[in-house]
Amino acid sequence: MLNFILKYKNYIKIIVIIVCTSIIYFKIKNENIISETLSGIDIKNSIIPLILGIIIMTLWSTLIFNTLKGTVNLNIKFQTWTKIFFNSQFYNFIPFAGFFYKGVQLKRYNISYKNYLFNYLFIIWSFAIFAFIIFSIEIAVFVDYKQDFFFIPILVLFPSIALFIFLIPKISKFVLEKLNFQNYILDFFYDLSLFLTKNFKKKKLKKIFFLNVLVIHIFDFFLYLSVVKFLNIPISIKTIFLIWLINTIIDLFPVTPQNIAVSELLAAFTGTLLGINFTSGMLVRIFVRMSWVFSAITVFIFSSIFLKFEEPEDLGKNYQICKRCVMDTSDSNITFNIKGECDYCQNFDKNLSKYFTEKNYNSGKIQKISTQIKSSKHKTNQYDCLIGISGGVDSCYLAHVVKRDLKLNPLVLHVDTGWNSKEAVNNIEKIIDKLNLDLHTEVINWKEMRDLQLSFFKAQLPNLDIPQDHAIFGSIYNFAIQKNIKFILTGGNFSTECIREPLEWAYHASDLKHINDIHLKFGQENLKTFPFSDIFQYKLYYRFFKGLKIFQPLNFMKYNKAEAIEILEKEYGWINYGHKHYESRFTKFFEGYWLKKKFGYDKRRAHYSSLILTNQMKRDDAIEKLDTNPYDEITLRNEIDYICSKLNISKDELDKLMNGKNKTFKDYKSSYYLIQFFVKICKILNLEGRIIR
């Protein structure tokens, strides 16, 4: 039965409206009361219901504004919020349009949809608690139990309902903690339970809420009173009070949008029970609704003429940093739960923590990979697989594992983009010599590399490493196809990369459409030899038509970065270059200086957060490291001189690029939506566990 109701709820609502309207019509079609009542109306008295409706809307606006400030740290002026709220009341003529409008507008001011929804539910929950308490007090004070004896059980019932509503989140939290398993929907309700209980404990917020609800309650009664006076219906104040009370309670449980037709019918029957006619009760409710309609139109017109929005960029960021890792609101799409943990941490627990269990380590997957590679090796090919090496810790340790542990014979490929550090060159030589591996080096045409990198500088984009990254991976994939090597092993891993930088920091380096558009606009050289490889080429064509398979063995073993570095240093004389990806001098300059200064993005946040989540770094140590710069002043000046010399530009030209207007990947052509579509499919198929947005 419940499934039937949920499936056809919209149709059921329409049927309810039609039925209620039909009952009202057949009840009043032969009566003259409507025409008599309307003919006796004094239009001057319509001003009072209109003013009261506006006052009540303003009180609601104040209540929600104060609640948003108290629960989710809303950081806008009351004028801006009032404009949003007043506009939403007009849009409420379409069911739920006002609700969605407020959510979209608040998103512009850094209030996530989740926090908006939680706050909305908090208001409904708190209002219901206080309303039933106030109802109980009003019934106890104003009702004559000798005449209206049916109110006696209600007097007992209402406090019980208030208590039950109050206990719902506590009971939910207790039950969900006992269940103790990961589920998106259950996590949502658990966070909601914490949000409700945590904020209800705030005395100041509770006091403001109670006073606002009480004042709204009083003005709402006076609205009913003014409507009765406007209609000139002879009803006692007590009867008006009871009609208002019953209708207010009914409206807490909407059957149709804003209880259209339902409220009118129940008001009519309530009037009949209280000794007035059916039509009078209905008219009171209809004209209360009409007062809301005209009030909404009035405040919307006022809002459109006199109120203005604040520009979001003028507000400053409502800064927040994760309580568990060090990701923060420099990722503009980041969200936090009630514990202050970011969505990256929540995603790690849900989708990636399984990789850090004894079950995964002992699954034998890494041996299965080795066996599959050996058994699939072509007789004419002397190499089992291809490994890319940069001189960094991940790729060097992978070479160690593949040769020493898996007993494979890989061909090692290094892509020289023109930016190798001395440490990188040293590390590659020592790994190759000690493991007795064959090395092939692909040297990228420097004129083409330089031209493409300068194109990205001129495009004013954050991710200046796209040309270098694309060259490296394009070379590896294309080389494997050329040499008929069917397996590529990479050092990619969740242990140090379980948090991927957001796309606004680091857009896909594999989007060839994006690269071509930027080079077309800003490039000068013809990229004849540049190793292009589109994401769809290597993900689909190379894989399904050429049989190329890519594995990340480090995901199926206990991989600890510090321990790996210790092994590499001890056994190979490997030299530490400082931080992830800093084996490239350009990457160190770009991530350690340019990206931070020009865009305010620090990739170390994602790198350190990955290490924190995998228990390889303490959060306090990460925060301390983030306060340090990769360069001292003298080294930075020397490095800037080196970059200018290498790119053949002057210091003034580099400064001009630094001061140019920042842009994002969305300012240029790209395959973003198509790539994100495939990312979603991969997430559904459990082929991608990280957040990519």
How confident is the model over 539-548, as pLDDT tens digits?
Answer: 889 988 999 9
Burial 658-667 (b: 16+ CB within 10 A, else e): eeeeeeebee
Q: In sequence order, what DSSP letters do the residues of 257-324 get, joined into one string?
A: GGGTTHHHHHHHHHHHHTTS-HHHHHHHHHHHHHHHHHHHHHHHHHHHHH--PPPGGGT-----B-SS
Alpha carbons 79 and 59: distance in angstroms, whole number: 14
Say whether 562 sits in a helix, a strand or coil: helix
Tokens 């991940």 belong to which residue?
394
Contacts of 422 (CB under 8 A, 6+ apart): none
Token couple for 581:
């990806």
Token couple for 417:
């983009």
Q: Is 507 left (phi over 0), alpha (psi -120 to 50) or beta?
A: beta
Contact 72, 195 (CB under 8 A): no
* Average pLDDT of the residues in 66-80: 83
The interaxial angle of helices 278-306 and 47-72, nearest 10 deg, is 60
* Confidence band of 144 (pLDDT split at 50, 70, 90): low
- pLDDT above 70 covers a percentage of the chain that reads 93
* Average pLDDT of the residues in 341-346: 94
Determine the Cα angle at 70 with ends 67 and 76, to 5°.
80
DSSP state of 44: G
3-state secondary structure 183-203: CHHHHHHHHHHHHHHHHHCCH
Contact 447, 347 (CB under 8 A): no
Nearest to 231 by CA among 292, 270, 279, 295: 279
At 463 the pLDDT is 93
* pLDDT of residue 4 exceeding 70: no
Average pLDDT, the chain: 87
At 316 the pLDDT is 47
pLDDT digits (tens, 9 = 90+) for 117-131: 999 999 999 988 988
Alpha carbons 622 and 274: distance in angstroms, whole number: 70
Alpha carbons 259 and 285: distance in angstroms, whole number: 11
Token couple for 127:
């209002």
Length of the chain measured in residues? 693
Domains of the chain: 45-309 (no CATH), 343-684 (3.40.50.620)
**For the ranges 151-160, 342-351, 586-595, which has the lowest average pLDDT?**
151-160
Token couple for 68:
């948003």
What are residue 420's DSSP bridge partners? 584
Say whether 412 sits in a helix, a strand or coil: strand
Alpha carbons 420 and 390: distance in angstroms, whole number: 8
CA 209 to chain centre: 28
Beta strands in 326-408 (DSSP E): 385-388
Contacts of 290 (CB under 8 A, 6+ apart): none
pLDDT digits (tens, 9 = 90+) for 36-63: 666 667 677 788 999 999 999 999 999 9
Pairing of the two strands 487-489 and 438-443: unpaired
Say whether 96 sits in a helix, a strand or coil: coil
Token couple for 381:
């090919």
| Residue scoring higher pLDDT (613 or 17) | 613
Alpha carbons 624 and 331: distance in angstroms, whole number: 20
DSSP state of 328: B
The pTM of the full predicted model, rounded to 2 decimals, is 0.60
pLDDT digits (tens, 9 = 90+) for 456-504: 999 999 999 999 999 999 999 999 999 999 999 999 999 999 999 999 9
Rg (alpha carbons) of the chain, rounded to whole number: 34
At 198 the pLDDT is 85
pLDDT digits (tens, 9 = 90+) for 299-320: 888 888 887 776 555 444 568 8
